[in-house]
């Protein structure tokens, strides 16, 4: 009994992750068993595209996060679980939920607004209004951005610079509205993290989980071969630039500010000391 109690105690610390991953697993398995036609129907009805949103299907804003159409389940689910567990342990459950929901819904609405404007001005074809848009990627990347709050202070700027630069490079090179949404989700996560600052003790196991989660996040952002080759260059440049900008800002803040009296005293003639 004590062992079982210990297991439930540990699971309680990552209750959102356990529940969400369980639902994802169940939905994905059900869609797989029902066949291709059921898959197409579920994706069509759960998509947060302009057609569904314009017809008042606002439930898709949450339901779309429960339907994943992005490769084999055995690949993405373990890495997503790793990211969510790490974030929930560091940020706690409520903060993780806030970051995930803000990123998922916020990025969806920003993308929908941009697409609506592009269609209205004739920059994109009308068919884009029925494009499928489901999955957990917006929420997951927002959580990755929110992890800024638990990065060591000296690494935060580089962390933000890397992910925002990689996201922007992926959006420009990929040229897809989903890529743009990924970048928006990262930025929203970073903005949300400003309310989450707290000291964190990093263990070796959690550092390894961070590496795995970061690799997963990179693959979600840079999911084309061309992007995988070029995005790291922009990421390194962005991380370096952000780190230097923060360093310069910190250096300016610590410079002494002289009052007018101090300035007059320094400008006044000083006595010469004879040896």
DSSP 256: P
pLDDT tens digit sequence for 4-19:
656 767 777 889 999 9
pLDDT tens digit sequence for 205-214:
999 999 999 9
Closest CA to 240 of 162, 125, 129, 171: 162
Tell me what pLDDT residue 264 has.
53
Domain extent for 185: 11-251
Domain membership flag for residue 179: yes
Domain membership flag for residue 270: no
Domain membership flag for residue 262: no
Q: Total domain count for the chain? A: 1
pLDDT of residue 61 exceeding 70: yes
Q: What is the mean pLDDT of the chain?
A: 87
pLDDT of residue 3 exceeding 90: no
Domain membership flag for residue 263: no
**What percent of the chain shows pLDDT beyond 70?**
88
Domain membership flag for residue 274: no
Instruction: Report the distance separating Cα 54 and Cα 245, nearest Å.
Output: 42
Tell me what pLDDT residue 275 has.
42
pLDDT of residue 269 exceeding 70: no
Mean pLDDT check: name the lowest of 90-94, 126-130, 161-165, 255-259.
255-259
pLDDT of residue 183 exceeding 60: yes
**What percent of the chain shows pLDDT beyond 90?**
59
pLDDT of residue 82 exceeding 50: yes
What mean pLDDT is predicted for residues 194-204? 80
What mean pLDDT is predicted for residues 179-192? 95
Tell me what pLDDT residue 13 has.
84
Tell me what pLDDT residue 226 has.
82
Domain membership flag for residue 3: no
pLDDT tens digit sequence for 149-180:
999 888 999 999 999 999 999 999 888 888 99
Three-class HEC string of the chain: CHHHHHHHHHHHCCHHHHHHHHHHHHHHHHHHHHCHHHHHHHHHHHCCCHHHHHCCCCCHHHHHHHCCCCCCHHHHHHHHHHHHHHHHHHHCHHHHHHHHHHHHHHHHHHHHHHHHHHHHCCCCCHHHHHCCCCCCHHHHHHHHHHHHHHCCHHHHHHHHHHHHHHHHHHHHHHCCHHHHHHHHHHHHHHHHHCCCCCCCCCCHHHHHHHHHHHHHHHHHHCCCHHHHHHHHHHHHHHHHHHHHHHHHHHHHHHCCCCCHHHHHHHHCCCCCCCC
Mean pLDDT check: name the lowest of 62-76, 234-248, 255-269.
255-269
What mean pLDDT is predicted for residues 120-138? 90
Mean pLDDT check: name the lowest of 91-95, 113-117, 173-177.
173-177
Domain membership flag for residue 143: yes
Domain membership flag for residue 269: no
Q: Which of the four pLDDT bands, split at 50, 70 and 90, describes residue 274?
A: very low
Closest CA to 100 of 10, 15, 186: 186
pLDDT of residue 199 exceeding 80: no
pLDDT tens digit sequence for 23-37:
999 999 999 898 889
């Amino acid at each position: 009994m004590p062992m079982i109690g210990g297991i439930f105690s540990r699971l309680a610390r990552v209750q959102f992750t356990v529940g969400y991953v369980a639902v994802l697993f169940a939905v994905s398995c059900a869609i797989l068993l029902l066949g291709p036609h059921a898959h197409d129907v579920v994706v069509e009805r759960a998509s947060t595209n302009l057609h569904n949103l314009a017809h008042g299907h606002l439930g898709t804003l949450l339901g779309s996060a429960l339907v994943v159409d992005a490769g084999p389940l055995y690949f993405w689910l373990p890495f997503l679980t790793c990211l969510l567990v790490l974030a929930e342990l560091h940020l706690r459950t409520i903060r993780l939920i806030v970051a995930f929901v803000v990123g998922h819904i916020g990025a969806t609405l920003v993308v929908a607004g941009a697409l609506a404007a592009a269609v209205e001005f004739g920059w994109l074809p009308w068919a884009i209004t029925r494009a499928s848009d489901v999955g957990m990627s917006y929420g997951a990347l927002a959580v990755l951005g929110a992890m800024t709050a638990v990065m060591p202070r000296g690494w935060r700027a580089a962390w933000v610079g890397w992910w925002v630069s990689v996201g922007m490079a992926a959006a420009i090179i990929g040229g897809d509205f989903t890529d743009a949404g990924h970048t928006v989700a990262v930025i929203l996560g970073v903005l949300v993290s400003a309310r989450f600052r707290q000291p964190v003790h990093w263990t070796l196991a959690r550092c390894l989980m961070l590496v795995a989660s970061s690799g997963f996040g990179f693959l979600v952002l840079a999911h084309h071969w061309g992007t995988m080759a070029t995005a790291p260059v922009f990421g390194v440049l962005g991380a370096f630039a952000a780190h230097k900008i923060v360093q310069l800002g910190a250096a300016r803040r610590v410079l002494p500010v002289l009052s007018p009296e101090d300035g007059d005293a320094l400008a006044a003639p000083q006595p010469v000391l004879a040896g």
